[in-house]
DNA sequence: TAAACTTATTAAACAACTTTAATAAGTATC
DNA sequence: GATACTTATTAAAGTTGTTTAATAAGTTTA
């Protein structure tokens, strides 16, 4: 349950941080109104945060008829985040500040190899030494993750069933989050487009291992009972073909970008299924797989199967970018929940 | 945000109530441990609640080596709930206490008619007069509901876009919840089987207006962006038939209970779709539509489409009963969140 | 330009939960 | 059966947020 004053403090603190970042800057009264926390409490927190260098005073507001209010902004460089993308062929990383600006981006050899863990550890160590303000680590992996433990990662058995989060939190004493690549992308899209919470999104992609989807429903990532959610390859669509078979059309290698009519019909049937089942607000396609004109064709084709007023917003986005945003947003969340020093 | 001491008080109070009902009875230490609230706070609340008659002392525990602890139980008759089921042909109601025992059950003529609101109001008035301890009203309706406002209720336009919750909360000064019938049933199943939170369930049924489904994902009811979630009729399944057409097989009136092979194949394709998309823990069929032997056939048929290790638990339940449980659980929630008198 | 009015901030009294110490009520053992 | 040990409960002191009153710093107007 955790309904204690200590918990309250954490919630208030992270509320102040989030509001300052959201608004860009704010006065104490604005924060008090927004967060519905009393003025003296806001004041006490802000005084301490200013002392720590976490917030900066940026002068006085114009008077609105009385004494002028002091305006504060969050110091975006106060904490940095580290995002790491584990991929088959390479490992990318990005260091970003609290407003999402990337301070440094780079790559190291893939760590999804024998003794990769050690390689990863030394890479992180170097980065933390160079940027001591790093206060969170977000790691994206091409596998299923349950609360920081890598659950199922076909092809990279040395990481299978390894508690990456626990390991690095102990090792570095910095909060760590580990998330599946697809789920991170959905989160990133959600966060970047500033979509209201508790909306539902579907991110559709053609992976190396066949098509898949990431779901966010009511604002939560969907993992499924056996972490099988999103394996849309298996959706039966025609008398004797499922989605994957329909996409491949018996020709073996898949065609990308999407262009053929049989592909469009298969996708529009999938869109119809999503709509009839979870009725999401938005379905997102990858910009390197689908073009604008094709999306329109898919929308048109879908309306053969379902009333078009229920059709979700079909949109295109940059998967890589959303993946980064997603890891950033997960890391930022960890930072904003950190206690006052 | 609402991170205030007042809010804290509410959370603690409802935590005590829930724990007492869940455990049947408890000592102050047990509550303090479970809820992670300090002993003195638990003690203060319990003293007040005993004074109000909300909890009852049921004697001393056996000693475990020291002073014997007093044991308390919740007084289930302290508050009553009223559940109302609006249906086409009749309106059922049930009055229940805090442990779910039904004190009285009955029916009145359907209120889904001209001037039905007035009829409903007087019916509720009579019940509240007879049972003044009624402290919550849960109303189930065959339509879409958004925060107590009936959003879409085909055939009963007089209720369309009416804020039933707001109306009765003003009128009776008792908290009211309004929920769609299917969503209530999913909630009821979830609550009754004491399923862990944040599981995913699908409740499948053949309504008068064709088949439909209710979803609970990660413990939340899924409504969809246009309240279209669950309209699984429209899922494309064969070259030229969607789920509804496949079930009806061109013969017009549907066959219930399910028995034919073409029905089984259609349902198993739907099961496969659910699994590949959201991978739920459980899919629930209605006991008046599907028999045990058929469920086994469906499971077998589904494994043609998806790996059977990911197949959800297929189970049968009593829809009417789950609907009642669902409304009870919604009403109970309202009661447990009521402030101390 | 001084009085009246606004708005921001600080100070003091209050409320509610936690922590720690003290007390009460048992059990076990020499 | 007195002493040591356990466990439950109560009491007192400490934290932390809220409310309300007081003060500071502006603006407007007679």
Distance A109 CA to D16 C1' (A): 50
Per-residue pLDDT at A250 exceeds 80: no
- Closest partner CB to B236 (pick from A2, A218, A269): A269
pLDDT band at A253 (very low <50, low <70, confident <90, very high): low
Structure tokens at B217: 């994902």
Residues of A in contact with B223 (CB under 8 A): 279
Q: Which tens digits make up the pLDDT trace of B205-241?
A: 987 778 999 999 999 999 999 999 999 999 999 999 9
Q: Which tens digits make up the pLDDT trace of A172-191?
A: 999 999 999 999 999 999 99
Per-residue pLDDT at B250 exceeds 90: no
pLDDT at residue number B154: 85
Distance A36 CA to C13 C1' (A): 21
Give CA separation, A94 vs A97, A113, A180, A186, B181, in Å: 10, 21, 17, 19, 48
pLDDT band at A210 (very low <50, low <70, confident <90, very high): confident
Per-residue pLDDT at B252 exceeds 70: no
CA angle B245, B250, B255 (to 5 degrees): 80
pLDDT at residue number B210: 84
Average pLDDT of chain B is 94
Per-residue pLDDT at B11 exceeds 90: yes
User: Which distant-in-sequence residues (6+ apart) come within 8 Å of B205 by Cβ?
Assistant: B182, B185, B211, B212, B213, B214, B285, B286, B289, B319
Q: Which tens digits make up the pLDDT trace of B181-198?
A: 999 999 999 999 988 888
pLDDT at residue number A194: 82
Q: Which residues lie across from B210 on neighbouring strands? A: B207
| Mean pLDDT score, B142-168 | 93
Residue in the structure block whose two tokens are 């996708």? A267
pLDDT at residue number A255: 64
Give the residue, B48 or A208, on which the prediction is more confident.
B48
Residue with CA nearest C6 C1'? A66
Nucleotides of strand D within 7 Å of the protein's CB atoms: 5-12, 15-20, 24-28
Lowest mean pLDDT among A70-79, A198-207, B9-18, B165-174: A198-207
Contact A269 B233 (CB under 8 A): no
Residues of A in contact with B36 (CB under 8 A): 1-2, 4
Average pLDDT of chain A is 95
Residues with CB under 7 A from strand C: A 4-5, 27-29, 39-40, 43, 47, 61, 64-70; B 5, 8-9, 12, 37-41, 44, 60, 63, 65-68
pLDDT at residue number B232: 96
pLDDT at residue number B251: 75
pLDDT at residue number A252: 65
Q: Which tens digits make up the pLDDT trace of A29-51?
A: 999 999 999 999 999 999 999 99
SS3 B195: coil
Per-residue pLDDT at B123 exceeds 90: yes
| Mean pLDDT score, B7-21 | 97
Q: Is the CB of A8 under 7 A from strand D?
A: yes
Nucleotides of strand C within 7 Å of the protein's CB atoms: 5-12, 15-20, 24-28
pLDDT band at A264 (very low <50, low <70, confident <90, very high): very high
Percentage of chain A modeled with pLDDT above 90 = 88
List, in order of start, the domains of chain B with CATH numbers: 5-74 (1.10.10.10), 80-185+323-336 (3.30.420.40), 193-319 (3.30.420.40)
Distance A46 CA to C1 C1' (A): 38
Residues of B in contact with A229 (CB under 8 A): 277-279
Structure tokens at B128: 């509240």
Give the residue, B196 or A255, on which the prediction is more confident.
B196
What DSSP character marks residue A234? Answer: G
pLDDT band at B52 (very low <50, low <70, confident <90, very high): very high
Distance B333 CA to D30 C1' (A): 61
């Amino acid at each position: 349950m955790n309904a204690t004053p200590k918990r309250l403090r954490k919630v208030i603190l992270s509320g102040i941080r989030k509001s300052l970042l959201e608004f860009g800057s704010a006065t104490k009264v604005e924060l008090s109104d927004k967060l519905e926390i009393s003025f003296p409490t806001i004041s006490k927190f802000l005084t301490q945060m200013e002392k720590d260098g976490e917030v900066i005073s940026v002068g006085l507001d114009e008077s609105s008829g009385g004494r002028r209010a002091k305006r504060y902004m969050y110091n975006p460089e106060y904490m940095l985040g580290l995002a790491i993308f584990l991929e088959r062929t390479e490992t990318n990383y990005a260091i970003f500040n609290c407003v999402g600006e990337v301070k440094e981006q780079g790559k190291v050899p893939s760590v999804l190899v024998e003794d990769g863990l050690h390689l990863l550890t030394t890479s992180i160590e170097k980065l933390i030494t160079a940027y001591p303000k790093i206060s969170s680590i977000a790691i994206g992996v091409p596998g299923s993750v349950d609360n920081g433990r890598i659950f199922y990662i076909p092809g990279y058995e040395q990481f299978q069933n390894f508690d990456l989060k626990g390991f690095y939190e102990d090792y570095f004493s910095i909060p760590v989050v580990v998330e599946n690549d697809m789920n991170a992308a959905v989160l990133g899209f959600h966060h970047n487009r500033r979509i209201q919470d508790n909306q539902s999104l579907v991110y559709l992609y053609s992976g190396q291992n066949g098509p898949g989807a990431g779901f966010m429903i009511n604002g939560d990532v969907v993992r499924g009972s056996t972490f099988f959610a999103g394996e849309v390859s298996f959706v039966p669509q025609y008398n004797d073909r499922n989605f994957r078979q329909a996409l491949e059309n018996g020709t073996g290698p898949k065609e990308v970008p999407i262009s053929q009519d049989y592909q469009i019909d298969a996708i529009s049937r999938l869109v119809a299924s999503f709509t009839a089942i979870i009725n999401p607000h938005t379905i997102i396609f990858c910009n390197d797989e689908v073009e604008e004109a094709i999306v329109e064709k898919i929308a048109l084709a879908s309306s053969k199967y379902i009333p078009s007023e229920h059709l979700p917003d079909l949109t295109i986005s940059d998967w890589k970018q959303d993946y980064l945003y997603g890891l950033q947003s997960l890391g930022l969340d960890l930072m904003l929940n950190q206690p006052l020093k």
